Structure 1
Amino acid sequence: MIDEVIFLRHGRTGFNLQRRLQGQIDIPLDIVGQWQVDQSAYSLAQRFYWAKVSNIAAHPDLLPHSADPSVRRMDVDEYRKAPASGRTMRVVSSDLFRAQQTAHAFADILGLDVHLDARLRERSFGQWEGMTREEIRERFPEGFRSWTAHTGGELDYGVESRADLGARGAATIADYVRTHAQDPTPTTLFVVSHGSWIAATIGTLLDMDMDNLNTLDGIRNAFWSTMGVSADATGTHWVLTEFNQGPAIAAAGDWENGPAALRNPDMGVWKPVKGAKA
């Protein structure tokens, strides 16, 4: 049974730096994005180290052994008898490459598989994908005003509504929960996706008004949120236990632009845009 869900947003991309709407355009991480996901992966791998132990207990062939027959073999029973083996973790990721890179930064440390799921893709921004907000404002002024006022004008340009996005995300998570319902093993579902998708999914699971999602802070690159899930005769219940959390290093420097050692002279500087939540 799934009793915990972790939502992790992918790291920075070149489109993030340029403040372009990526949507479902397949953009890889940039150098700062790779650094971000590595930092978050290191932090989360410490927290969820039990998942490596549990995975080895279930798949003893993963346990390394010396090729020298005189060296005693490692004892898999140490892993099987460890309390950590009583839980399991499943890592799922959007099939867009920036999410895959982010998922593997975490999962590879713990020796976990990454399962791809197109249902975890970012919100589709239709004709606006790849454009900056300034470009949208210039070319589609009425649509832009309606979009920022949350009155739905963006739908005329093929943009997926927040309500549809949230419904897609919540249905996907509910499907995972339902699929694992008969498995008695407590399971953490580790979901790697995108900022708008995560915010809309969490909002829908909590029965929030999709047009008032600005009550949730924008999801930062490579930051995570955690929800607890339980079920009884009245249905499935969700509790948000962490929101928009990052590794300690994120508070110690310029997280969005990364350390100076990674910035080349041609690289722009990421700056926040007021009212940029999508």
Structure 2
Amino acid sequence: MQVFLVRHGQTQWNVEGLLQGSSDIPLTDLGRRQAESAAAALVARVGDDPLIVASPLERARHTAHALADRLGVDVEVDERLRERAYGVWEGVTPEERERRWPEEVALWHAHGDPMLPGFEEHDAVQSRMIAGVEDWTDRAEAEGRILVAFAHGSCVRVGLHGLLDLPLTHRTLGNLGNTAWSQLTRRARGDWTLDRHNVTADTVAVA
């Protein structure tokens, strides 16, 4: 069973290096072009009728529709694919984070959970991502379709660590770039292989 996990296109907050989290930030003009390029590359790989699901945040839904509209299929929405909530860190520059919360930043960089208002802990993100991907893969498999899920950098990385039984205490996998994807194979629930990671429209031919 083939599954693609795709990150959304560029936003202005990506350009500025700000954590977006649950903030609903739209794509830039470049982000929209990235979404179209990714869609063109994915069309040849996901079949005529993939099951497409997206985070409810606009940047992910817009990226998903670039593919869905080409194929004439619907985009399902699942709250479990929403980006991690960063609480008071959302929209704050890295410099301000370091200045105001040095201990929390150090803990976060050490793969820990900083105790901050509104910050969603690793385990919570991982649990909902695993449940969402497994459930949608069940449906795609039952319908004989490939699953393409559009989400976000942090939640996809944390979810992948869970699906592949990798510890969260190490950053084994890096975040996906904008409109990059991971391709996985599922043999059964809980039995996953990562076939490709951080593939883009520009690199797919050699990935």
User: Please, which of 81, 99, 103 is the counterpart of residue 138 of structure 1?
Assistant: 99
Q: How does 1:75-114 map to 2 (within 5 A)?
A: 89-114=50-75
Conserved 8 A contact 2:3-2:137: no
CA contact (8 A) 2:156 2:175 kept: no
TM-score, with length taken from structure 1: 0.69
Question: How far did 1:227 drift?
Answer: 0.9
Displacement, 1:211?
Answer: 2.1
Aligned counterpart, 2:116 = 156
Q: Structure 1 residues 109 and 22, CA, compared in 2 at 3 Å: closer, same or farther?
A: same
- The whole-number CA distance in structure 2 between the counterparts of 1:191 and 1:163 is 20
Q: What displacement does 1:173 show?
A: 1.3
Give the TM-score taking structure 2 as reference length. Answer: 0.92
- Distance in 1 (CA, whole Å) between partners of 2:198 and 2:122 is 19
Report how many residues are paired: 205
**2:17 maps to which residue?**
19
Q: Secondary structure at the match of 1:215?
A: coil
Query: Tell me, which stretches of 5 or more residues in structure 1 are unaligned?
Result: 56-88, 252-278
Maintained 8 Å contact 1:227/1:242: yes
Alignment of 1:126-275 (within 5 A): 126-152=87-113, 154-179=114-139, 183=142, 185-212=143-170, 214-231=171-188, 236-248=190-202
Q: Does 1:124 align with 2:85?
A: yes
C-alpha contact (below 8 Å) 1:162/1:211 kept by paired residues: no
Pair 171,250 (structure 1): closer, same or farther in 2 beyond 3 Å: closer
Alignment correspondent of 1:276: none
- Which position in structure 1 is the counterpart of 2:42? 44
Say whether the 8 Å CA contact 1:128–1:157 is kept in structure 2.
Answer: no
- State the SS of the aligned residue for 2:62: helix
Structure 1 pair 47/162, CA: closer, same or farther in 2 (3 Å)?
Answer: same
Cα offsets for 1:113-143 (capped at 9, x unmatched): 1111111100110111111221111111221
1-structure distance, mates of 2:140, 2:69:
23
Contact 1:10 1:99 in 2 (8 A): yes
2:7 aligned residue: 9
Separation in 1, partners of 2:116, 2:59:
28
Looking at structure 1, the residues matched to 191 and 155 of structure 2 have their Cα atoms a distance apart, in angstroms, of 20
Percent identity of paired positions between Structure 1 and Structure 2 = 36
- Where structure 2 has 5 or more consecutive residues not aligned to the other structure, the ranges are none
Q: Give distance in 1, aligned partners of 2:184 and 2:65.
A: 21
Q: 1:155 to 1:188 in 2, by over 3 A?
A: farther
Structure showing greater radius of gyration is 1
Tell me: CA distance 1:179–1:107, structure 2 relative to 1, closer, same or farther (3 Å). closer
What secondary structure is seen at the aligned counterpart in 2 of 1:230? strand
Root mean square deviation of aligned Cα = 1.9
Separation in 2 of the partners of 1:24 and 1:158? 10
Q: Distance in 2 between matches of 1:90 and 1:18?
A: 33
SS in 1 for 2:169: helix
C-alpha separation in 2, matches of 1:230 and 1:42: 27
Could you list the per-position Cα deviations for residues 163-183 of structure 1 after superposition, in whole angstroms to 9, with x for gaps in the alignment? 2211110011122234456x3
The alpha-carbon deviation at position 35 of structure 1 amounts to 1.3
How far is the alpha carbon of 1:93 from its aligned partner?
Answer: 0.5
CA contact 2:3–2:183 (8 Å) conserved in 1: yes
Provide the rounded CA distance (Å) in 2 between the counterparts of 1:166 and 1:149: 17
- Helix, strand or coil at the partner of 1:157: coil
Q: For residue 18 of structure 2, give the secondary structure of its aligned residue in structure 1.
A: coil
